[in-house]
């Protein structure tokens, strides 16, 4: 067998960076040489929200190392040198192709076997691809997804020759809305297509959505609601137009897709991962009592909620990742102390750089009238 570590974090995204900070010696964590992070990306963990915000701007764009984790929490910026200084091994541009949880080993795509005593699964999620929705032509060169630094670099490259052109944004959620804002900043005409009645349908009320849609419309964004893209018209390997289910044809010089993230990328570790609730419960609630010593820091994280006695609490927002990662780090190091972290679904304004306070208190009232009744 090759190298072996006391702790291995599988995945190099937001959760991995925050977990590493929890392990750092300054927080009484693992000793130098005990922790390893394996990532299929070529750079140290970074704050993914920066990709759909500052990274796509035409001027003053965010670039590494400015947004390595844990910049999003106004904490240390963990560059590759930081990991070296703290004795944390970074294994970058490497994929784990299989895992043996009984023998506690991981096999990488380079053929190396890496052993562990405790494994934290922080593989994150991938962007859903248009083929999964039956959309033809989605392999065209100017179709862009946004999940990784590589994706963001491609999108920046595709935007440059599209100055003054047309972009069809597929999806009306977080990523679709933020990509639309970036495209407008790059002086590209934007049409957003999504099947819901209003943007951010999983989070916004119709009234809140109306406020944002009016703001975007004032910037020139056109909303096409209640339908979806059926296929993409491709010419010379590039998208020329998007064909909607209702028959409309939208000219397009590029097609950013704001589809929702696919389920967590942990197929190689255990069959339980096909049910993310079961896996997260098994990994996070029972890991301290389990010989397997596995923990999960999932991007959509179901977390036990002892304080409120409500069973599992699902969080769909970026803010759950640091909390889940820090919880995993603590639980990996502790053997007896019972600690629980409430992961709350919360909406933050663009570029909000600190966690929102959470409370079991419910506020009823009118934001518009600035009146509320607390219960």
Q: What is the CATH number of the domain that holds 187?
A: 3.50.50.60
Position 33 in a domain: yes
Domains held by the chain: number: 2
The pLDDT assigned to 162 comes to 94
Between strands 96-100 and 105-108, the pairing is antiparallel
Helix/strand/coil for 88 = coil
Confidence check: pLDDT of 98 > 60: yes
- Please check whether residues 169 and 242 belong to one and the same domain: yes
Q: Is the pTM of this model over 0.85?
A: no
Q: How many angstroms separate the most distant Cα atoms in the chain?
A: 66
The pLDDT assigned to 356 comes to 36
- Please check whether residues 42 and 26 belong to one and the same domain: yes
Domain final position from 227, 256, 285: 256
Of 261, 21, 20, nearest to 124 by C-alpha is 261
Residues spanned by the domain of 99: 4-125+263-333
The pLDDT assigned to 155 comes to 96
Spatial neighbors of 242 by CB under 8 A, at least 6 apart, are 168, 170, 193, 229, 231, 232, 233, 249, 250, 252, 255
Confidence check: pLDDT of 304 > 60: no
Q: What is the mean pLDDT of residues 81-85?
A: 94
Q: What is the mean pLDDT of residues 245-250?
A: 96
Q: What is the mean pLDDT of residues 74-102?
A: 93
- Please check whether residues 34 and 109 belong to one and the same domain: yes
The pLDDT assigned to 370 comes to 42
Helix/strand/coil for 218 = helix
Of 307, 305, 317, 314, nearest to 346 by C-alpha is 317
pLDDT tens digits, one per residue of 251-293: 999 988 876 655 545 443 333 333 334 333 344 444 444 445 5
């Amino acid at each position: 067998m090759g190298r072996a570590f006391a702790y291995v974090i599988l995945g190099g995204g937001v959760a991995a960076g925050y977990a590493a900070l929890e392990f750092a010696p300054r927080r009484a964590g693992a000793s130098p040489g005990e922790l390893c992070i394996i990532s299929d990306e070529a750079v140290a963990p970074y704050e993914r929200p920066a990709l759909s915000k500052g990274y796509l701007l035409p001027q003053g764009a965010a670039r590494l190392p400015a947004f390595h984790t844990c910049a999003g929490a106004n904490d240390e910026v963990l560059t590759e040198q930081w990991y070296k200084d703290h004795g944390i091994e970074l294994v970058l541009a490497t994929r784990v192709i299989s895992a043996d949880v009984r023998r506690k080993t991981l096999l990488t795509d380079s053929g190396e076997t890496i052993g562990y005593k405790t494994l934290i699964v922080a593989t994150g999620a991938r962007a859903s691809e248009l083929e999964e929705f039956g959309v033809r032509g989605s392999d065209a060169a100017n179709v862009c997804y946004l999940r990784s630094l590589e994706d963001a670099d491609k999108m920046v490259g595709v935007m440059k020759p599209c100055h003054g052109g047309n972009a069809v944004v597929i999806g009306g959620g977080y990523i679709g809305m933020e990509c639309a804002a970036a495209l407008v900043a790059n002086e590209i005409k934007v049409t957003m297509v999504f099947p819901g009645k209003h943007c951010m349908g999983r989070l916004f009320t119709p009234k809140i959505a109306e406020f944002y849609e009016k703001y975007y419309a004032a910037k020139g964004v056109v909303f096409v609601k209640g339908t979806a893209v059926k296929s993409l018209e491709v010419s010379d390997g590039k998208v020329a137009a998007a064909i909607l289910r209702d028959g409309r044809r939208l000219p397009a010089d590029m097609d950013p897709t704001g589809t929702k993230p696919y389920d967590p990328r942990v197929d190689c570790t255990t069959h339980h991962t096909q049910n993310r609730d079961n896996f997260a419960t098994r990994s996070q609630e029972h890991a301290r009592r389990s010989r397997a010593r596995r923990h999960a820091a999932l991007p959509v994280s179901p977390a036990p909620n002892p304080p409120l006695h409500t069973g599992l609490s699902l969080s769909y927002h970026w803010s759950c990742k640091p909390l889940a990662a820090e919880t995993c780090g603590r639980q990996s190091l502790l053997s007896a102390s019972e600690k629980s972290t409430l992961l709350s679904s919360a909406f933050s304004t663009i570029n909000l750089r600190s966690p929102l306070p959470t409370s079991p208190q419910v506020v009823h009232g009118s934001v518009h009238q600035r009146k509320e009744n607390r219960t």
